[in-house]
Chain A
Amino acid sequence: MAEVGRAALILALGVAVYGIGASLYGARSGRADIVASGRRAAYALALLSVVAFVILEAAFLRSDLSFAVVAGHSSTTTPTFYQATAVWSSQEGSLLLWLTLLSLWSALVLFLTRRQLRDVAPYATAVLLGLGAFFAGLLIFLESPFDVLASPPVEGAGLNPLLRSPSMMTHPPMLYSGYTLFAIPFAFAVGALIVRRVDAEWIRATRRFALAAWLFLGIGVLLGARWSYAELGWGGYWAWDPVENASLMPWLIGTAFIHSIMIQEKRGMLKVWNASLILATGVLCLLGTFLVRSGILDSIHAFGASTLGGPFLVLIGAMTLGSVALVVSRRDTLRSEHRLDALLSRESIFLLNNLVLVALCFVVFWGTFFPLIAEAVTGQRAALGPPWFDRYTVPLALLLVLLSGVGPLIAWRRATAANARRSFAIPAAVAVLAAVALAAAGAGSALLALGMFVAGAFVAGTVFQELWRGTGARRAMTGEAPHLAVVRLIGRNRRRYGGYLVHLGMAVLFVGVAASSSFQDATDVRLAPGEQAEVGEYTVRYTEPTARLVATREAGLEFIELGARLDVWRDGEALGAMTPTRGYYPSQDLAGLGAIGRFFEGESVSEIALDAGAGRDLWLAVQPDIGALEPVIREGDAVFAQAAGGLSPQFEAVALAQTLRGLVDRYASEAPPAQFRLLTSPMITWIWVGALVVFAGGLICLWPAPDAARRRATAGLAVRVARDLGRVRART
């Protein structure tokens, strides 16, 4: 099967190269059939990538250890769910996933636009196939997923326990979907620039892909944040880590893009700006993909220096230079058709929003690459920490939320000042009320947080007012019942109300961020059983240790779990017990480690005890002290080392299990003090809830309008337009 997979990849590279040639030749010579052949090469690429991916996934699922990748990242005892996700925990598998997703979206968009954009599509095809060829080339020549081991090992290395999380199933595929979906508008922008067809057609054709990309990338980033908060032992969801930033930057520019394309669609303005934005987004997507596997910046995620750095940098360089060259050489055709009519218009607000987003991206970019910049300028590497990032991003984010509340209140093209003032009244009143109430409640201590709350209230006021007024307007025309009117209103104006919902979700999200950062209470304390500590309004007592061996029927002994049972009180009221634990997974490296000590030299993974609530989260983590166990461990190691070879495997396994059980019982009975991290974060759940609202709003925006309704609507309007013309049209 590995041979078939390898053949599929080689075929993929071949068909991609053919497709590039066919598309370009067909475009230059006007041969639509050759162009069609090139387009079908994209379909073939999708087919071949899926075949290769399925082969690899199947190998993981049946633990085919003859595959080097499977042996290195999975094992027969890994649970099925994690066997499936182990595919993209490997370099090779993740590149193959990238290629598969890219080729699938490419095939989809080329199929959907097969009758449109006749001059642009071939060049877009060439760009997409070019990217596909790049990844296929990497997979064939540098990081092959189908390398076969001459003598397959008895057992695989297993998945890194840190990656054993449901988030592993969703976070990477979502991120990659986001990155690869942004390649679609990128490719069409390049094509549009090449043939100088820079009107809004390429935008209209790829709008949904840009929106889907934005949605998936955003959700991917948030999934990473949630993973970080709920699973990893430091209690935070964002650290301004270079790799986190690398996925945020294309999202920021992508947000600017999906707003400013609306201006080009309506007024034919901002052509240079839009082209530049999407070209930058595409480059940043590849930069993000590259950064996580390059090791050029110090980061938690910067996994191993690899041989991929060179080719990626060449690609990114080529994309950047090519983009700049295209925009500069086409700047005459990119001239605006119109000018900004009025400062008081939605176009203006969108422009401001764009500026804020670009500024945010610049801040993040500068901070992320500062070590390299400093080295270039002063010869000395220097790093910027979260405080510097926060200083600039927080006010900018505040401004952004505020703008998202102002925008919907102002009409397109030109707004009537008096009407705008009237529209501001209610949302402003809501905001002022919120400000007063919160300040009275003591939120004034963190001014920026209070500002964000007020901005969020303003946005909420705007969205509800818009729904109210829209429903009223619709009912005035159709006389429908209120609930029906709301649903139909949203259904007939998906982009508008989906967008408003997204804004509401983002406001909720940022309010959660503001509250949880400004009003968090953290306590790091070392407690012996019976002792207690305070965090926020809670009192936490370390009642007793917990210790157990975790085994499964197939795997046998999986890991040792040591934890603590903590009893929690608030205002004298007992809230029950929470049990944070720590899992000690044995190291796979058998050389030099004792049979018992192996368990404490592998990975140790925190299991957080989390009590999530609408008002606040209580987050508890434990770091058991195994120092007291060390003499016992050493003794056990010595005994097993002596007896090695003289025992049958079954006897050894039984003896090992018994020793470990003894060890674990000893921990429970001796009950040494342990290190605890206790956190209480207000309103952190609002972040995840806000994300869900954003997702729902995004789906509404993406939803295609049902054909029948659209045709009816346009038929009616067409007649009205025709009446203006002075004649009735027989057909529509």
Chain B
Amino acid sequence: MDVVTLVAIMALLGAVAWLVVAPLRAGSAARDEERYEGARADLEAAKEAKYAEIRDAELDHATGKLSDADWRAVDRQLRAEAVEILQRLDELGVP
């Protein structure tokens, strides 16, 4: 095995080790904040999805697939679900 090869392998080993060990050295100080971030991201995604549903229902109504009465019922239901998600987001509070 020549020098170049050896150096290349060492470099790879070093890069991998650095990548993998870095979070461990940063410590667990930010653990709670990360947990909050995670929950918040999940709820935000759910909120976006619910809004997309509301818009979808609107488009269904506009393109004549839903009668006025049916649409109003569906829209009401979906907005109630959206409100629930917003309430949960509120409950999360601030870190």
Contact = CB atoms under 8 A, between A and B. Distances in A.
Indicate yes or no for A touching B, C-beta below 8 A: yes
Nearest to B11: A4
A47 B56 contact: no
A190 interface: no
Interface string B68-95: 0110001001010011001000000000
A414 B74 contact: yes
Contact of A51 (B12, B31, B42): B12
Given A4-B5, A7-B9, A419-B64, A714 B51 contact: yes
B22 A3 contact: no
Interface residues of A, number: 66
B5 A116 contact: no
Nearest to A201: B42
Interface string B46-70: 1111011111110111111111011
A3 B5 contact: yes
A419 B37 contact: no
A469 B24 contact: no
A412 B56 contact: yes
Contacts of B28: 31-33
Nearest to B9: A7
A19 B16 CA distance: 11
B2 to A, nearest CB: 9
Interface string A190-202: 0000000000110
A118 interface: yes
B62 A37 contact: no
A419 B62 contact: no
Contacts of B37: 115
Q: Is the interface of A mostly helix, strand, loop or mixed?
A: helix
Interface residues of B, number: 55
Interface in A43-88: 43-44, 47-48, 51
B22 to A, nearest CB: 7
B79 A200 contact: no
Nearest to B62: A473
Interface string A1-16: 1011001100100010
B66 A416 contact: yes
B64 A44 contact: no
A204 interface: yes
A359 interface: no
A731 to B, nearest CB: 11
Interface string B20-41: 1111101110110011011101
Nearest to B52: A495
A266 B54 CA distance: 11
A409 B9 CA distance: 60
Contact of A11 (B5, B16, B22, B47): B16
Interface in A115-169: 115-118
Given A4-B9, A48-B12, A414-B70, A420 B20 contact: no
A8 B11 CA distance: 11
Contact of B12 (A8, A115, A420, A492): A8
Nearest to A1: B5
A719 to B, nearest CB: 11
Interface of A: 1, 3-4, 7-8, 11, 15, 18-19, 22, 31-34, 36-37, 40-41, 43-44, 47-48, 51, 115-118, 200-201, 204-205, 265-266, 409-416, 418-420, 422-423, 466, 469-470, 473-474, 476-477, 492-493, 495-496, 710, 713-714, 717-718, 721-722, 724-725
27 contacts: A3-B9, A4-B9, A4-B12, A7-B9, A15-B16, A32-B30, A34-B24, A36-B23, A40-B23, A41-B19, A43-B19, A44-B19, A44-B20, A116-B38, A118-B34, A201-B45, A266-B53, A410-B65, A411-B65, A413-B74, A416-B69, A469-B62, A469-B64, A473-B59, A493-B55, A496-B56, A713-B51
Interface of B: 1, 5, 8-9, 12-13, 15-16, 19-24, 26-28, 30-31, 34-35, 37-39, 41-42, 45-49, 51-57, 59-67, 69-70, 74, 77, 79, 82-83, 86
User: Nearest 4 pairs between A and B by C-beta?
Assistant: A473-B62, A36-B23, A118-B38, A469-B63
Given A31-B28, A32-B28, 4 more contacts: A32-B30, A41-B20, A423-B65, A476-B62
